[in-house]
A and B are shown apart, each in its own frame.
Chain A
Amino acid sequence: MLTLHCPNCGVHADETDLHAEGEAHLKRFGPDSSDDDFHDYMFQRQNPKGVHFERWKHVYGCGKYFLAARCTATLEVFGTYSAQTHEPPQAIKDAISAKRPGWSWGDFS
């Protein structure tokens, strides 16, 4: 039963107010992209046992999406941040590094 801080409305929300929306920072590939790129965009997920970045929606709250950095092995939350960004803020990355030195995820580390 997770709790996550919604950075949009400031509420520390219970999982029952939230909806998990899958992996964060997916780069969309549209027409003219290669089969491989489109396949990876659609289906290839990091699915790490450890540090993960994911989307959540404060569905029974402000209705806004936000992103979370979370450990899938312990459910520790390193931080949440705006969905309107292409990569995690440095402060979040630092917070992860402090607890999981040497972590990497996709292109981030």
Chain B
Amino acid sequence: MKRYSAFAIAREAFRQHSGWDRAWAKREPKKKYDVIIVGAGGHGLATAYYLGKNFGITNVAVIEKGWLGGGNTGRNTTIIRSNYLQDPSAAIYEKSRSLYETMSQDLNYNVMFSPRGLIMLAQTQHEIRGYQRTAHANALQGVSTEWISAARVKELCPIMNIDGPRYPVLGGLYQARGGTARHDAVAWGYARACSDMGMDIIQQCEVTGVRKNGDKVVGVDTTKGPIDCDKLGMVVAGHASVLAQKAGFRLPIESVALQALVSEPIKPCMDVVVMANTVHGYLSQSDKGEMVIGGGTDGYNNYTQRGSFHHVEETVRALVETFPMLGRLKMLRQWGGIVDVTGDRSPILSKTPVEGVFVNCGWGTGGFKAIPGSGWAMAELMAKGHSPLTEEFNMFRFREGKFIDESVAAGVAH
């Protein structure tokens, strides 16, 4: 693999950039792999990457129905944070956040991780208590966060109106090393690194069935023919139920639309990410200058990647209320993704009733920030059969009533 650097660019500049290789190889599937990962989104590619990097398992195929990074990886609001309340969440999200810190160097691909700071606004007494609780929990979890005053919120984010007549800002939970990254680059960077390790990334290949010998997986049927494997990782956010059904088991999840939008680009005016959960909206400014806006999910099961406009309306209303200067900006583009949510709004990283089949799903609205941590943990689970990071996220927790509920602090989970 040709390393990326300013020097490489300079060299290529004088030969019309003709020397750049493919970022990832285009290959046809082999007959058999040690591990097949279904889903070449961020989570699937990261799982493959850490299987290779941490466990030396490189006879791996990542199979993708569409194009890599084309699901939720490429259609989210790119927020990265780890200020979660419950121990298992804080552990995996903080692992993830810390991996983002060095991802560009690890992958030799600039994913533009920008730890610009993230504030979760408290606009009710209840939120104050919730975030102070999170701050105390984070202090014991090794997650660096702090409770800040309304005045400090204003200092960090001058475009915010902290004296709104309805929901004045009372303070916030600040994570200085939270931020954003370039979402597509995360998928592309992992894909390039996986390909470089000799793994096969097979796009435009849909899994049509899961082949089993008794209760053990032996391979998959695909639109490019049958492929054998010893272990199978299902990492297909949104479509996890559909794939699990092919393997003969069910998942406690539902798929719903999540929408987002961006404004036209403007000059930099906001250096932090802000989440306002009382009014339901979050906002950051991309490096291109667009104001990136997200909100809550639609209420009904939906696989169309389209949502209902009144949810966009609610989100925009909430943010214009909190950031009055936004009013005269214009919505450039809105879109939707399909997220799968579980009974406790926390993800599933788990063994399944089928031996050799592992599942990673249920990230709801919080998947992007978890990509490297999820991949790291999933790889460990698949390689070793257990991982402390995934332990509590097993799919059987619902049977025991052992939930990981993050909504308790903030009112919304992500």
Contact = CB atoms under 8 A, between A and B. Distances in A.
A–B contact with Cβ pairs below 8 Å: the answer is yes
A73 B299 CA distance: 15
Nearest to B306: A75
Interface stretch (A5-13, A15-23, A82-90, A93-101): A15-23
B398 A16 contact: no
Interface string B297-327: 0111111100011100000000000000000
A47 B301 contact: yes
Given A36-B399, A42-B343, A47-B253, A52 B308 contact: no
B209 to A, nearest CB: 16
A15 B251 CA distance: 28
Given A72-B301, A75-B304, A43 B310 contact: no
B284 interface: no
Contact of A45 (B253, B299, B303, B309): B253
A39 B300 contact: no
A47 B304 CA distance: 13
Contact of A44 (B252, B303, B309): B252
A43 B241 contact: no
Interface residues of A, number: 26
Interface of A: 1-2, 15-16, 19-20, 22-23, 35-36, 39, 42-49, 52, 54, 70, 72-75
29 contacts: A2-B308, A15-B310, A16-B310, A22-B254, A39-B399, A42-B343, A43-B343, A44-B251, A44-B252, A45-B241, A45-B254, A47-B241, A47-B253, A47-B254, A47-B255, A47-B340, A48-B241, A48-B301, A49-B239, A49-B241, A49-B242, A49-B255, A49-B303, A52-B301, A54-B300, A54-B301, A70-B300, A72-B301, A74-B304
A104 B403 CA distance: 31
Contacts of B301: 47-48, 52, 54, 72
Contacts of A16: 310
Q: By DSSP majority rule, is chain B's interface helix, strand, loop, or mixed?
A: mixed
Contact of A73 (B254, B303, B398): B303
A85 to B, nearest CB: 20
Contacts of A36: 399
